[in-house]
A = this chain, B = another copy of it.
């Protein structure tokens, strides 16, 4: 395992978030030991341990999604903390790079509520 020691801080943030979420659930249920969770998302316990301690980079999108399900987290947020953007969203952009490029750059500094309001308006057919 290559360490590339320089993203360690970012990895630790992701790992810390996971551990916190897991330990929260672990206090009540015993189904949330590191080993149990590792088994359910289909990775080796040692690997999940290293992820949680930020010793290695965050895992693949697939595993991050599985973790989000297990620990009841927002997948998009977890992916973002891991430094990733979901393949689903990248696909949407790749299909119309000009349009979405333009839109995203215009909205870069818009307030959260403005972005969400637009999303709502689109959903309600107001476009």
Contacts and interface: CB of A to CB of B under 8 A. Distances in A.
Contacts of A29: none
Interface residues of A, number: 40
Nearest to A99: B115
Copies of this chain in its oligomeric complex? 2
A92 B99 CA distance: 15
Nearest to A103: B119
Interface stretch (A1-9, A18-26, A41-49, A105-113): A105-113
A106 B123 contact: yes
Contacts of A119: 99, 102-103, 106-107
Contacts of A108: 92
Interface of A: 74, 76-77, 79-80, 83-86, 88-90, 92-108, 110, 112, 114-119, 122-123, 127
